[in-house]
Amino acid sequence: MAKFFVKARDEFGNLIENTYEAETEKQLYEKLNSLNYIPIKIQEIKKSGILSLHIFPEKITITEQILFFRQLATLIDAGVPLIQSLEIIRKQLTNEKFEKAIANVKEKIEEGLSLSEAMSLYPDIFTRMQINMVLVAEEGGVLPEILDRIALILENEKETKEKIKTATRYPKLVITALSIAFLILMWFVVPQFQKVYGKFGKKLPLPTRMLFGIYMFLKNYWWLLILIILLLYLLFRKWVNTEKGRRKFDKFKLKIYIFGPLFLKIYLERFTRVLSLMIQSGVPIVQALDIVAGVTNNVVIENAIIQVKNAILEGKTLAEPMEASKYFTDMVVQMVTIGENTGKLDYMLMKVANYYEKEVDYTIKNLSTLIEPILIAGLAVIVLFFALAIYLPMWNMMSLFK
């Protein structure tokens, strides 16, 4: 009997981490299903007790996923059987990890699992939203349509990620340039002034002593600084992977100056677009909310969506719990209210998504203008510090000569 490490969420959205024994992956899935657990990660524990992990696992790009779902939708819509469709796609894949996963998915389907069940065995490749959407499609007999919508959602997600990269590119370049300039000054300019000022034997001004102290530390303990940075990075990664750490970090991201409102717009655009597509596909609102809860990739927003879902189960409308939450803007609430009253909820949600898409584009285009005052202020402080550190001793010496 094999042993598996399972990371999953229960029906209330709580995170569960535990080990389970099962003869096969199918038996494990049935056990998790009976507990109403939605698997996030499943890893087999080898006899040595070490999880079967690769040190440098091959990544599956979002483009590869888009092509997979798009091709699978086209083949099934053309009447090609599911197993044969998976085999055709598998032969075209160049990513070894993805190719092996699709081959195993095909084998599990041949053994009697459904496509959604087979996909759920690979939570590191297929998201909870994708698995749930396929499950809904299997129950409703609309698999090609849903697979096509998954590809559409992934395309939108790819565009969003590119927008975030664009948004952070300018400050990254400026910070990198400033860091290089700082190192050049420290390594080539500061030592020359240290030699000159060291000959006078006078007590140097505080900014100068601070600058020389920084230089000596970097000169003698640069390796310690790198070690500390690496250690802090590893500790941060470990902390942010915990439930408490992830929640605090995701909450912090929403409070960052300029970027917080931008991230919220991106999350709302993604949430409203996917929810609209779910409703258009005939998915009931409660089930649709459960599916899209993790689409934002932010635990705080995910919990807000789960609270909305729970409120609907208690008999409230969609707009009521949204209005009570601080993460859904007045515009979202108003448009949802109109959508519920007119019976055009999917249409109004798509309108909101398109609005926020334009808002995100506008914010990114004007990001350099918004960030420039902060960067200029930071640069001014650094330049002032260097100027005082270098020239204060000169001014003191000149005053002595006078």
Per-residue model confidence (pLDDT) at position 45: 67
- Per-residue model confidence as pLDDT tens digits over 233-284: 999 999 998 889 999 999 999 999 888 999 999 999 989 998 998 898 788 8
In the 3-class helix/strand/coil scheme, how is 345-393 assigned residue by residue? HHHHHHHHHHHHHHHHHHHHHCHHHHHHHHHHHHHHHHHHHHHHHHHHH
Q: Looking at residue 400, what is its pLDDT?
A: 57
Place of tokens 């919508």: 149
Q: Residue 54 — very low, low, confident or very high, per pLDDT cuts 50/70/90?
A: very low
Q: Tell me how far apart the terminal alpha carbons of the chain are, to the nearest angstrom.
A: 90
Residue 66 contacts residue 149 (beta carbons within 8 Å): no
pLDDT confidence band for 230 (50 / 70 / 90): very high
Which class is domain 62-146?
mainly alpha
Q: Are 390 and 208 within 8 A, CB to CB?
A: yes
The two three-digit tokens of residue 213, written as one number = 């102290």
Q: What angle do CA 37, 70, 104 make, to 5 degrees?
A: 50
pLDDT tens-digit map of 106-145? 999 999 999 999 998 888 899 888 888 898 888 888 899 9
pLDDT at 180 over 80: yes
pLDDT value of position 401? 57
Amino acid in the structure at residue 219: K
| Helix, strand, coil % in the chain, rounded to nearest 5 | 75, 5, 20
Domain 259-365, CATH class in plain words = mainly alpha
Q: How many CA atoms lie within 13 A of 251 on its CB side?
A: 10
pTM, two decimals, is 0.72
11 C-beta neighbours (distance < 10 Å), count: 10
pLDDT tens track for 191-227: 888 888 877 767 888 999 999 999 999 889 999 999 9
Give the tens place of pLDDT for each residue, 69-110: 999 999 999 999 999 999 999 998 888 899 999 999 999 999
pLDDT band at 402; cut points 50, 70, 90 = low
pLDDT higher for 363 or 3? 363
When mean pLDDT is compared over 10-24, 269-283, 341-355, the highest value belongs to: 341-355
Instruction: Kindly tell me if the per-residue pLDDT of 170 is higher than 90.
Output: no
What percentage of the chain carries pLDDT values higher than 70?
A: 92
Phi, psi of 218 (to 5 degrees): -65, -35
pLDDT value of residue 56: 44
Query: What is the model's pLDDT at position 399?
Result: 64
State which of 114-128, 294-308, 315-329 shows the largest mean pLDDT: 315-329
Amino acid at 131: I
